[in-house]
Chain A
């Protein structure tokens, strides 16, 4: 039993990371139907920028805020220079563009930062806490709590504010939204800025647990995308569910099956779910865009 709790806690912690990355995918996909494969790079930017700003002597909270601002700036620049000029291009072209962006960011990172691995201190110390017989790093609470706050804030923002409703309108039908007087270019730019911020916050929250380096974005993009697809791409709650489930599956597979096949086990379940529920866990309707 204690073993199970330990596996579950570890899985949910890593799953919360995947969930935050998946959330970033969801937001941009909703606003612009672009699958942004540079999402993992925002996570890297958040972690690495915080490490380096803190090393320059900034207090940790200030470094973290500055890192998020920097990531948002990068998100806006990416949108303005790469995505907006290619408006109207088909989905594959846009995906290739975002992959290009991720390569550029990954190439620039070792020049701006360096090629070493880095860590941040745990926000609430490093001594493990006991939960039902399992040992949990205090930082895990920050990750899971941070994910919960972000999801809630996003949900409220989209449902309760005029600007949020404009995002939803743009997502539903860009042309109609434009005709209704919504500046859809601004909305999509906003989606990029917000998902850059979410990615960067995720990077800052997880670095004390996972460590960071200039190329952590690759794996995170892959796992985050899998989580978003598992949850039903386009659904914020689905993204969270997908992320947590993927992390849980990995930890349980490593614990009960074999650590060698844990990635494979997670992806086998992903394929099985998609075969049974093509729209993902959130049963998102398939929209054919021509």
Chain B
């Protein structure tokens, strides 16, 4: 790589922009993303940067506010002159920024879950997290395996919960799953027993699915146990961090959810190609931040290294050339799975990227 230095576009600075929600209601997503980007950009620079250029990370905190995100996106393009942007913590902030980068023709790799970010495909927009539709499909697959076909859905009314609920309702028929009852809760609600009482009484109900993120799903889990509901409970990848188990306490035992391999990094078989990437990131992050690794920071890690590889392949810091190479990402092993992007697939993950996990003894275990 050192040999490339001479041929690279004038060794200097490569400016990468980022807008994340490190404060506000989505802070538990944005904070690990923010820390991950800063940590690894520093490491990259110690190792000589990307194709001889020092990486300059320009990072803004939108506080979870879509309007602010859009303002920062414009600033990144017009004032900071970045060549690519990583970020968009929530689906809401991401959707607000997409038009800015599409107009300015700057490649953008998002950390948010909604399937609408990459469907339909937009020329300059990519994303690293699994979609909410895949999460539903993974859950439905697991339900079929256990011969459970009648489910109740209780979803958060935040952007994530709404979007995932919509996807579940779209694909359930394909898996032969019948949704027999539905309830919702506000992202700030602190008691869901009324809704769960209704679900409990729904005729024929065999399992519960809870699309949501933040503290809501932890309260749902506790309320389910409080009411003595014995149905299997499926959470989403929206709660894929240790704090969910801590908040839900004993009630979390037996909860299943689809999540990235990162959560069970040290429990993966040695033959798993993701093992070394996942354990490497987990160790580095936990040592540097003294905190628990979460899949959310992993999405930032994946995006940063997909971008780095693309810049290296392009051997250029021109946004258009970088974009073409991001689209060309093949066999990239990340924390979320193995990425194979195409001109029509700007995420590049399939269902195998999700592992079905179960909470056992206060920790995640592989359920399959």
Contacts and interface: CB of A to CB of B under 8 A. Distances in A.
A45 B24 CA distance: 17
A14 B191 contact: yes
Interface string A2-26: 0100110011011001000000000
A119 B214 contact: no
A260 to B, nearest CB: 5
A137 B225 CA distance: 10
Contact of B191 (A10, A119, A213, A219): A10
Interface residue tally on B, bucketed by range: 35 or more
Interface string A28-45: 000000000000000000
A115 B28 contact: yes
A210 B219 contact: yes
B215 A251 contact: no
A255 B197 CA distance: 8
Interface in A126-166: 126, 128, 135-137
Interface string A274-286: 0000000000000
B184 interface: yes
Which has the most chain A C-beta neighbours within 10 Å: B25, B194, B226? B194
Contact of A115 (B31, B190, B193, B228): B31
Contacts of A7: 193-194, 197
Interface string B171-212: 000000000000111101011011101100100000000000
B20 to A, nearest CB: 13
Contact of B194 (A119, A209, A216, A254): A254
Contact of A10 (B194, B225, B251): B194
A115 B21 CA distance: 11
Contact of B227 (A117, A135, A255): A135
B328 to A, nearest CB: 37
A210 to B, nearest CB: 3
Contacts, number: 90
A259 B218 contact: no
B247 A211 contact: yes
A116 interface: yes
Contact of B198 (A128, A210, A255): A255
A260 B185 CA distance: 7
Nearest to B244: A117
A255 B188 CA distance: 17
Interface string B223-261: 001111000000000000001001101110000000000
A59 interface: no
B190 A210 contact: yes
B194 A6 contact: yes
B316 interface: no
A110 interface: yes
B191 A13 contact: yes
Contact of B190 (A14, A118, A135, A252): A14
B257 to A, nearest CB: 17
Nearest to B225: A128
Contacts of A128: 225-228
Contacts of B228: 128, 135
**6 tightest A-B CB contacts, nearest first:** A210-B190, A255-B194, A115-B27, A254-B194, A10-B193, A117-B215
Given A7-B197, A17-B190, A135-B228, 6 more contacts: A3-B197, A11-B194, A117-B247, A135-B193, A135-B227, A210-B219
Interface of A: 3, 6-7, 10-11, 13-14, 17, 110, 115-119, 126, 128, 135-137, 206, 209-211, 213, 215-216, 218-219, 251-252, 254-255, 259-260, 262-263
